[in-house]
């Protein structure tokens, strides 16, 4: 499985630790940056990872910033992305099982490497349950299509 990975300057160190963890576990990682702690704009990295996921160049995406909030907001603007900002293993699992989240957003200020790697592992191993949750995920896609139609009509 290929994972697209991105971070801003606040998430750089944790991204690097997550990358090493994923490689050790046998995942292919496409690191979309940033590559240092120099100040950058998080939406650029959220977009790069989101585009990879929606184009199916990568199966899943992981984003890291200071809080995870900005990355999740920006990534969710990419049509087809369902990004979840989570702080616990339980939230990670539910974001996959119930929401079919395809991008995980983490806040480097809220967790250390061990917690982040446990969250990542739980997120990657949880299957989407489908069923009643599939109907809800489809409604999210309907909202995206309607918004795109509104923009095209303007």
> How far is C-alpha 30 from the geometric centre of its chain's CA atoms?
13
Q: Which of 9, 21, 98, 133 is catalytic?
A: 98
Asked about 117 being catalytic, the answer comes back as no
48 contacts 33 by C-beta, under 8 angstroms: yes
Q: Give the chain's end-to-end CA distance (angstroms, integer).
A: 39
Asked about 21 being catalytic, the answer comes back as no
Q: Which of 9, 21, 65, 117 is catalytic?
A: 65
CA-CA distance, 154 to 151, in Å (whole number)?
5
Dihedral (CA of 145, 149, 150, 154) sign: positive
The residues assigned a catalytic role are 65, 98
């Amino acid at each position: 499985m290929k994972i697209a990975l991105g971070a801003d300057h606040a998430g750089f160190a944790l991204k690097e630790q997550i990358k090493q963890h994923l490689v050790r576990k046998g995942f292919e990682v496409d690191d979309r940056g940033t590559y240092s702690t120099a100040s950058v704009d998080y939406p650029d990295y959220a977009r790069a990872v989101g585009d990879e996921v929606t184009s199916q160049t990568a199966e899943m995406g992981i984003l890291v910033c200071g809080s995870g909030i900005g990355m999740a907001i920006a990534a969710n603007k990419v049509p087809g992305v369902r990004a979840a900002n989570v702080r616990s293993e339980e939230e990670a699992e539910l974001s996959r099982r119930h929401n079919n989240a395809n991008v995980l957003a983490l806040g480097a200020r809220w967790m250390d490497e061990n917690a982040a790697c446990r969250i990542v592992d739980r997120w990657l191993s949880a299957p989407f349950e489908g069923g009643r949750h599939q109907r809800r995920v489809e409604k999210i896609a309907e909202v995206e299509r309607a918004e795109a139609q509104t923009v095209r009509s303007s």
